[in-house]
Amino acid sequence: MARRLEKYEKLPVYKKAQELFDLAEIIADALKEDEMKEHLAAQMFTNAAMVQAKIAGAEGGGLYSLRMQNAVLIKLAVQDMFNAVSFASMVEINEEDYVDLMREKVDEFRLVFNDWTRGFDKTYDIPDNWAIRFDTSTPEQEKLEELMFDEDRFFDEFDEDNEENSVDDPEDE
């Protein structure tokens, strides 16, 4: 029975990620036997798989900051894949020079990736106390921050409640 394609697997960015994965597999197979071969192959496969998993994760969650968090991890994974191929070329453990081919695939992926991330809904988000997405200098952000959990205030109020409810021990006097 054929497996039903998930919605994210039909996206152009996911299809380009699959091309990167396939290329990583070809490059890993072409590496000469060397003590670094297994490490580089694992690095390429891990990063290629992470790209696909993070695309699925970004599509599974609607919050802008979570989608962008996945996007950043995708960017880093793709860069790490390219670095592994470049390193293999530098130390001459690949049969052919795959650097230019990987660079082309990364550039193709980057263009589709940029289109994909531009489609994220910036208005569907919540502040996350990391000040990466939100500008903390705007009045809107200040209002949102007031609504957010204030750990210091919580524990101050908690301590005050405990002091009021504590029973004095006669031996303390």
Six-digit token pair at 138? Answer: 């705007």
Tell whether 38 and 102 lie within a shared domain: yes
| Model pTM score | 0.72
Give yes or no for residue 53 having a pLDDT over 80: yes
User: Which residues constitute the domain of residue 61?
Assistant: 10-118
| Residue 129 Rama label (left phi>0; alpha psi -120 to 50; beta) | left
Same domain, 114 and 149: no
pLDDT digits (tens, 9 = 90+) for 121-164: 888 887 766 666 655 556 666 666 666 555 666 567 656 655 65
- 118/30 Cα distance (integer angstroms): 36
pLDDT tens figures, 62-87: 788 889 999 999 999 999 999 988 88
Alpha helices in 31-63 (DSSP H): 37-60
Domain CATH number, residue 22: 1.20.1440.60
